[in-house]
A and B are shown apart, each in its own frame.
Chain A
Amino acid sequence: DTEVTQTPKHLVMGMTNKKSLKCEQHMGHRAMYWYKQKAKKPPELMFVYSYEKLSINESVPSRFSPECPNSSLLNLHLHALQPEDSALYLCASSQRVEGDKLFFGSGTQLSVL
């Protein structure tokens, strides 16, 4: 059983909707991540939050907005998404941020209509 919990597991939203993905880790890890994964592709890093600092992949559009209320919670706010944003969104955590092994949550399958 994963100790990284993601909700919801599935989400369908229109292009004008605002929604949030939630992630919580119970392992005391210092780093949390959001990844985006399209079918038959590897996970693609979107954001890293570690030591109270957010690192952003500059290619990620501003319609994705991360929020870290505390060291065990990481949210991803979604607004005005496009159909091409439909993908599996994965939260992960690691003990350290320096290329340490990742533990993934179960993912959110997002469909944008």
Chain B
Amino acid sequence: QKEVEQNSGPLSVPEGAIASLNCTYSDRGSQSFFWYRQYSGKSPELIMSIYSNGDKEDGRFTAQLNKASQYVSLLIRDSQPSDSATYLCAVNHIQGAQKLVFGQGTRLTINP
């Protein structure tokens, strides 16, 4: 089982719709969860962090965390073409040396 798993996509969503990105992780002790957005040829940009079960909203973005199910998701409301990017889920892995583990990323395309 991979430490952090994401569907690689591509995920296509019409403009104005809700984009839903999912991530599962293997380390039950993980406490910190992050979503990064990465445009082609650019560096990852932190867009959301979440540490407690439940939802966290920031503008059009909502992160959802369920530690019992070892699942974290990112919702993007009112999707815009500028949201087209690869979204990386990152989880702090405490087994062994603590480190941030990245998923493979989900490529999202918003269709006008």
Q: Mark B41-65, 1 if CB is under 8 A from A, else 0.
A: 1111110010000000000000000
Task: List the A side residues contacting B41 at CB < 8 Å.
Answer: 88, 109
A-B interface contact total, Cβ < 8 Å? 54
Contact B32 A101 (CB under 8 A): yes
Contact A90 B44 (CB under 8 A): yes
Task: List the B side residues contacting A105 at CB < 8 Å.
Answer: 43
CA distance in complex: A40, B49 (Å)? 23
In the complex, B92 has a CB within 8 A of chain A: yes
Considering only residues 13-35 of chain A, those with a C-beta below 8 Å from chain B are: none
Pick from B44, B45, B46, B92: contact of A99, CB under 8 Å = B92
Decide yes or no: A103 and B103 within 8 Å by CB, A42-B88, A97-B98, A109-B41 being known contacts: no
Majority DSSP secondary structure for residues of A touching B: loop
CA distance in complex: A99, B2 (Å)? 17
Shortest Cβ distance from A4 into B: residue = B43
Pick from A88, A90, A99, A107: contact of B100, CB under 8 Å = A99
20 CB contacts below 8 A, A to B, read A2-B43, A40-B105, A42-B103, A42-B105, A43-B102, A88-B41, A90-B43, A97-B98, A98-B92, A99-B30, A99-B31, A99-B93, A99-B98, A100-B32, A101-B34, A101-B100, A102-B34, A102-B44, A104-B43, A109-B41
